[in-house]
Amino acid sequence: MTDNKMMMKHKVRLAVAALGLTLAGLAQAQIAVIVNPKNPGGLTAAQVADIFLGKSNTLPGGGTAAPTDLPESSAVREQFYTKVTGKNAAQVKAGWSRLVFSGKATPPKELASAADVKKFVASNPDAIGYIEKSAVDGTVKVALSVD
């Protein structure tokens, strides 16, 4: 085997290893359920699950919850639903389809990015959303940490 081929093979292995480490890091992202700083916060996982599954629309402070979702393609969304509700995104979507069809509830508002979720929550006292914990700043309050 020539030196060029060996060097290329080595580079490919390094690239695959780097990609694997990157994906492993993404899979372990910590998620923060966020609310407006004016909201009392302090939600349990069960309360958050009920809000995001359409079983409840009330926040602990008495306000009507305005939940927000990340895009369906988001790995953080999949991780959030799996860890908080015990359901995958497809199961959640099917549940919402039934609720919408029956007229019982409206699904969370889907926003394009974590920055959009944070901005919406920061500007709406009844909003609730989820983002990677590393993106939290003083404009929102963490109501629940999801590891």
pLDDT, tens digit, 9 for 90 and up, residues 66-87? 999 999 999 999 999 999 999 9
Question: For residues 122 and 116, what is the distance between their CA atoms, to the nearest angstrom?
Answer: 10
91 falls within a domain: yes
Angle at 112 between CA 22 and CA 109, to 5 degrees: 125
Measured between alpha carbons, how far is 87 from 19 in angstroms, rounded to an integer?
Answer: 27
The pair of three-digit structure tokens given for residue 70, joined into one six-digit string: 């990340």
Q: Is the pLDDT of residue 15 over 90?
A: no
Q: What is the pLDDT of residue 110?
A: 97
Domain count within the chain: 1
Residue 100 has pLDDT above 70, yes or no: yes
CATH of the domain at 60: 3.40.190.10
Average pLDDT over residues 100-122: 95
Hunting for tokens 């389809």 — which residue is that?
A: 97
Say if 21 falls within a structural domain.
no
Question: What is the overall mean pLDDT for the chain?
Answer: 86
Give a yes or no: residue 115 inside a domain. Answer: yes
Residue 140: pLDDT above 80? yes
Angle at 106 between CA 101 and CA 109, to 5 degrees: 130
Q: Using an 8 Å Cβ cutoff, are 141 and 36 in contact?
A: yes
Please report whether residue 19 resides in a domain: no
**What residues make up the domain containing 64?**
30-146
Q: Of 147 and 126, which is predicted with more confidence?
A: 126
Q: Is residue 127 part of a domain?
A: yes
